[in-house]
Amino acid sequence: MSATADLLRVAGVKVTPGRVRVLDALRAAPQPLSHADLEARLADADRVTLYRVLDSLVACGLALKAVDARGVFRFSAAGAPRPHDGHVHFRCTGCGGVFCLKAAPPPPPKLPRGFRLAEVELDVRGTCANCAGHAG
Amino acid sequence: MSATADLLRVAGVKVTPGRVRVLDALRAAPQPLSHADLEARLADADRVTLYRVLDSLVACGLALKAVDARGVFRFSAAGAPRPHDGHVHFRCTGCGGVFCLKAAPPPPPKLPRGFRLAEVELDVRGTCANCAGHAG
DNA sequence: CTGCAAATGCAACTGTGTTGCAAATGCTGG
DNA sequence: CCAGCATTTGCAACACAGTTGCATTTGCAG
């Protein structure tokens, strides 16, 4: 019996093939997945069912739902490490590539009263080695 | 001549009734407005034109664009024409508001060989005082 | 005033997410 | 193991946010 099925059982929801496959996909993914990402991975799944499976996983606490910069919902398995927390991204303005730098995340700045911090992201823009070489 | 029209002129975009009205609405609003909010305020405006006006305001730095918790873009008037240099932004994941923090911009991290730095932006996400109070 | 690029308005389209309903399926009690 | 029943699934249709193409209008420079 799969560990994923156990998670569903413990969370108190019915164990269905769809839920197992979706939760497996979320747990295997290195980053939060959009509905479209999941549809690509789970080729034969119904669109609407996928939405409902995701909602049920969020409702029972097994998945987290967030909005990305494009306004699309992204889902991640609860408890999974979030690799982009405190990460430093380098965005190449030439090729559009995104590189994850090893640099230490910056210290969280002081916030005004009442503000709650969730995530800090340092976004560095410039030209990557490849593009800089091509056409300075 | 309205101050809003001057802002547009200085920003280097054509001064049109649509842009003046939209920017006025953004500057008068206490919180970031969605496309739908603006449509309601500017009754006779064309849907698509409104999208394009908003995009042009963002492109010339007069407005800021963010995503709210429902995945909808929200727009707010930018405080100054060029507020983005080495600035620290706080993005509220609840209302989509963007706040400019006074904190000093972080030191630029070390880049891999050949990479060229152009811009550094620290993006802090969380919940603003208003939203934290509402439904903490 | 005139010309041209930019902005507008309209129609149609894509992508994302939701709702209603009938059929299939997991779980529980016998 | 089987039946009953609520939950889930699949399908169709819908709602909303945002985009694209194109012809027309308009701001602004000359």
Determine which of A6-15, A55-64, A123-132 has the lowest per-residue pLDDT on average.
Answer: A123-132
Can you give the pTM of this predicted structure? 0.72
- The answer to whether some atom of strand D lies closer than 7 Å to the beta carbon of B1 is no
Instruction: Report the pLDDT value the prediction gives residue B32, as an integer from 0 to 100.
Output: 93
Say yes or no: A58 contacts chain B, CB-CB below 8 A. no
**pLDDT of A62 above 90:** yes
Mean pLDDT of chain A: 80
Neighbours of B70 (CB within 10 A): 11
Nearest-CA distance B36 → chain A (Å): 15
Structure tokens at A78: 């609860």
Statement: residue B84 has pLDDT above 70:
no
* Residue nearest the C1' of D17 (CA based): B72
Q: Which residues contact B34 (CB under 8 A, 6 or more apart)?
A: B68, B72, B73, B74, B75
More confident residue, A8 or A94: A8
Task: Give pLDDT, residue B80.
Answer: 43
CB burial of residue B112 (10 Å; 0-12, 13-18, 19+): exposed
> Is residue A109 within 8 angstroms of chain B, CB to CB?
yes
Kindly determine whether residue B125 and residue A106, on different chains, have CB atoms separated by under 8 Å.
Answer: no
Per-residue pLDDT for A17 more than 90?
yes
pLDDT digits (tens, 9 = 90+) for B118-132: 666 677 777 777 666
pLDDT score of B49: 97
Stronger pLDDT, A51 or B105, i.e. the higher one: A51
> Cα–Cα distance between A25 and B18 in angstroms, integer?
46
Least Cα distance to A42 among A55, A29, A30 occurs for A29
Residue A18 to residue A45: CA distance in whole angstroms: 8
